[in-house]
Structure 1
Amino acid sequence: MREKSVNYTIINTHAALEQVCRQAQERDVVMLDTEFVRTRTYHPQLGLIQLYDGEHLSLIDPTVISDLSPFAALLNDTSVLKVLHACGEDLEVFHNAFGCVPTPMVDTQIMAAFLGHGLSTGFAALVNQYLAVELDKSESRTDWLARPLSVKQLDYAAADVHYLLPLYQRLLSAVTEAGWWQAALDESALQASKRIRHPDPELAYLDIKGAWQLTPRQLAILKPLATWRLQEALRRDLALNFVFKEADLLTVARLGLTSFKRMEQEGLDIRSVQRHGTRIAALVKQGQSVSAEEYPAPIERLMDLPGYKAQFNVLKDEVKLATQRSGLASEFLASKKQINQLISWVWRRDCDPLRVPDLMQGWRLTVLGQAMRDRVNDPVR
């Protein structure tokens, strides 16, 4: 059946925000969602907050309320469980806007994964399956910073938390019966911790795709370039590639470009060259002045190490067996990144107890982690 119309209140004053947050803090569980825009900016731009405590559904307008501290207090209230769906980007939004993430929280996408659903199962699909309601998702790519918001936009936003409550209740019953409730909480907390990033400008060059192809001498040039680009992006709240394209940065470092003419000949973005060319040239010269003893170490990819492919396939087979035993999707049990994390932990970090990989902690350790660890061979020297 089609979704029903939902009653909601638009919150656009500090007094009203205080009231709805106070009411929410009297509940054991609340539903949360955000609408945001992320096109040219480094940080997502918060456009709307949806809050549903089971009785009051509030659409909070953060663009007109200067003091949002009552909502931050709700996020930090450990007596209230916050429920979200596929909340990775929402957590970034909260952390950027309020300096914190919802605590404690649970992600219904993760709850569904413990029931055998794929980790990327969308909200509309789950609402359709568990509640037999078809949601209208046509407003998902709208401009949430524009004002006034249309009735259709507001209805869309309200439906997301209105139907989140009965979905959560259905999933909670099934997950608890299956014995996965604590694991769902732990996994949600793990994913939340990964979303809180404090990028180190001095290590930004390691995130440049293709940097592994460069020599140490070229990396000495790339390093200050990447540091400058990240600092500029943070200072101007501008997406990295809108400061200077990643591919162009790599070309500059690889060829040691210092003249505008050569930059244009190599196909670099002309506007970026005009704006930042002088700075880029100075950073290239800075990198070229670094002594060989101070060059960054070559970037060694895990997949290039001897025996990696065979080792990965052995662990992948172990994941398939665990999938058959548990009924959980293989990509949820152990992603490629998590498998590589385990291999790297053994091969490169000598099983450092301070950097334990996902597969060697929590519910994954019991389900498949220990079995996978037992099948990691010593590295080929």
Structure 2
Amino acid sequence: MSEYVLITTTDDLSALCARLARQPFVALDTEFMRENSYYPDLCLIQVASPEEAAIIDPKAPRLSLEPLFALLANEAVLKVVHAGGQDLEIFYGLTGRVPSPLFDTQIAGMALGFGEQVGYQQLVEQTLGVHINKGARFTDWSRRPLEQRQLDYAIGDVTYLIEAFPRLLERLKETGRGEWLDEEMARLMDPASYTCDPEQMWRRMKLPNRNADVLGRLKALAAWREREAQGKNLPRNRLVKDETLIDLALHPPRDQASLARVRGLPASWGSNDIGARLLAVLENAPPMPKEEIPARERMTALGRQASLIADLLKLLLKIRCEEWGIAPKLVCRSDELEALASGQRDGLAILSGWRYNHFGKDALAMVEGRLAFSVRDGKLNLHEVEPA
């Protein structure tokens, strides 16, 4: 599919979405700018069905996106994306809803052995045998008018996707791996994945210790930074970096003038309004309640023996995933392996469902001493161990 239309009016968008609503699935992608802002600046929206393709210009003065929003909420139309997290975040921010139902071809690629976080270019090459020119990837999508080469590049993100999706779906059916994706797709559609609670931003940071006063200040500072960044529409780390907030939490200044000597803060904060707000946050931050302080396991590294066991589990995971042709990241995360190595059994995804059948039962056997590695004829082997 090489032809497409550029949509700049609400009437044309309404007509397009009415046609797309009669299709069983549509491909969806966006182009946006975010380097210098907190909120993404939506610049283009690309859509395609098996019958047509279009680029929607959200910056067009005579365009309302309401017809598109209705299509994204239409449960009868499957929305196909590739690594769609940031695109979905944009639409959630605009509508308060996550487009659904969804199918992410990057996740499907992980289940089919394309590798972890397989890129769109690689997916298209492996599925369709087509090489994509990514020359216009790094471009200023906010500038108008857009060049033809930019539009031609942008539409390729959905025209190839609409062709690759049926082939991926067929391979998933042939291998019986469709159910493997259910949990990941559900997580993709969970609104909690796209909400940002300033009061919880401290959890994303490297915690310095378990001192209630320090953590209370860090929580208050992280929430303050998030709200300031939102209000100024600046990237949070452009405003204040994580390490600076941690330093302030550990060593709070005596007065506002002292802020001018804090590494990572502008000297002007020693006397201006934003500096005054920062100091007030520090002075009024309550200690973190005991029940909110993270468990010690999060604050410290694994013990020596548990760390060695975790390394063996990672090797086992690699072996099993190579045998099955599946990306390890889809099976489990490193922290799950570390939890299993430390003795945890409850609440681990690898100990239930398809993950247990393909990896978890062997992982459990290894940590319980019923499965071991050996080397035979220069090759690594796994073998069962007889009970003592």
**For residue 332 of structure 2, what is the aligned residue in structure 1?**
334
Q: Work out the CA distance in 1 between the residues paired with 2:253 and 2:63.
A: 46
Q: Deviations over 1:29-60 (max 9, x none)?
A: 11111111111222322111111011121111
Match of 2:38 among 24, 42, 49: 42
Q: Deviations over 1:279-315 (max 9, x none)?
A: 122222213xx46987963663435354542452353
One-letter amino acid of the counterpart of residue 309, structure 1: S
**For residue 151 of structure 2, what is the aligned residue in structure 1?**
154
Match of 1:279 among 258, 277, 280: 277
Match of 1:205 among 202, 206, 217: 202
TM-score under structure 1 length normalisation: 0.84
Q: Work out the CA distance in 2 between the residues paired with 1:299 and 1:256.
A: 25
Relative to structure 1, the CA distance from residue 208 to residue 329 in structure 2 (aligned partners, 3 Å threshold; closer, same or farther) is closer
Task: Describe how 1:76-91 pairs up with structure 2 within 5 A.
Answer: 76-91=73-88
One-letter amino acid of the counterpart of residue 96, structure 1: G
Contact kept, 8 Å, 2:201 with 2:223, in 1: the verdict is yes
Relative to structure 1, the CA distance from residue 106 to residue 298 in structure 2 (aligned partners, 3 Å threshold; closer, same or farther) is closer
TM-score under structure 2 length normalisation: 0.82
Instruction: Kindly indicate whether residue 304 of structure 2 is the aligned counterpart of residue 313 of structure 1.
Output: no
Q: Work out the CA distance in 2 between the residues paired with 1:46 and 1:248.
A: 31
Contact kept, 8 Å, 2:213 with 2:288, in 1: the verdict is yes
Aligned residues: 363
Aligned residue for 1:222, secondary structure, equals helix
Q: Work out the CA distance in 1 between the residues paired with 2:340 and 2:101.
A: 27
Task: Describe how 1:54-65 pairs up with structure 2 within 5 A.
Answer: 54-64=50-60
Match of 1:233 among 229, 244, 247: 229
Q: Work out the CA distance in 1 between the residues paired with 2:253 and 2:292.
A: 19
**For residue 378 of structure 2, what is the aligned residue in structure 1?**
none
Q: Work out the CA distance in 1 between the residues paired with 2:183 and 2:52.
A: 28
Q: Work out the CA distance in 1 between the residues paired with 2:267 and 2:194.
A: 30
Relative to structure 1, the CA distance from residue 61 to residue 314 in structure 2 (aligned partners, 3 Å threshold; closer, same or farther) is same
TM-aligned CA deviation for residue 9 of structure 1: 0.8
Aligned residue for 1:253, secondary structure, equals helix
TM-aligned CA deviation for residue 342 of structure 1: 6.3
Relative to structure 1, the CA distance from residue 319 to residue 143 in structure 2 (aligned partners, 3 Å threshold; closer, same or farther) is same
Contact kept, 8 Å, 2:121 with 2:132, in 1: the verdict is yes
Contact kept, 8 Å, 1:216 with 1:296, in 2: the verdict is no
**For residue 377 of structure 2, what is the aligned residue in structure 1?**
none
**For residue 125 of structure 1, what is the aligned residue in structure 2?**
122
Stretch deviating more after TM superposition (169-178 or 22-31)? 169-178
Task: Describe how 1:251-270 pairs up with structure 2 within 5 A.
Answer: 251-270=247-266
Q: Work out the CA distance in 2 between the residues paired with 1:107 and 1:247.
A: 35
Match of 1:104 among 101, 106, 113: 101
Match of 1:364 among 355, 358, 365: 355
Gap regions ≥5 residues in structure 1: none
Contact kept, 8 Å, 2:351 with 2:360, in 1: the verdict is yes
Q: Percent identity?
A: 31
Q: Work out the CA distance in 2 between the residues paired with 1:298 and 1:333.
A: 26
**For residue 372 of structure 2, what is the aligned residue in structure 1?**
none
**For residue 376 of structure 2, what is the aligned residue in structure 1?**
none
**For residue 14 of structure 2, what is the aligned residue in structure 1?**
18
TM-aligned CA deviation for residue 92 of structure 1: 1.3
One-letter amino acid of the counterpart of residue 6, structure 1: S
One-letter amino acid of the counterpart of residue 207, structure 1: R
Q: Work out the CA distance in 2 between the residues paired with 1:195 and 1:150.
A: 37
**For residue 171 of structure 1, what is the aligned residue in structure 2?**
168
Stretch deviating more after TM superposition (270-279 or 45-54)? 270-279
Stretch deviating more after TM superposition (64-73 or 305-314)? 305-314
Contact kept, 8 Å, 1:216 with 1:298, in 2: the verdict is no
TM-aligned CA deviation for residue 158 of structure 1: 0.9
Gap regions ≥5 residues in structure 2: 369-388
Stretch deviating more after TM superposition (71-80 or 307-316)? 307-316
TM-aligned CA deviation for residue 139 of structure 1: 1.6
Q: Work out the CA distance in 2 between the residues paired with 1:184 and 1:87.
A: 15
Task: Describe how 1:68-79 pairs up with structure 2 within 5 A.
Answer: 68-79=65-76
Aligned residue for 1:46, secondary structure, equals strand
RMSD: 3.0
Aligned residue for 1:137, secondary structure, equals coil
TM-aligned CA deviation for residue 325 of structure 1: 4.1
Relative to structure 1, the CA distance from residue 47 to residue 195 in structure 2 (aligned partners, 3 Å threshold; closer, same or farther) is farther
Relative to structure 1, the CA distance from residue 291 to residue 139 in structure 2 (aligned partners, 3 Å threshold; closer, same or farther) is closer
Contact kept, 8 Å, 1:92 with 1:195, in 2: the verdict is no
**For residue 6 of structure 1, what is the aligned residue in structure 2?**
2
TM-aligned CA deviation for residue 339 of structure 1: 3.5
TM-aligned CA deviation for residue 375 of structure 1: 6.1
Q: Work out the CA distance in 2 between the residues paired with 1:293 and 1:103.
A: 38
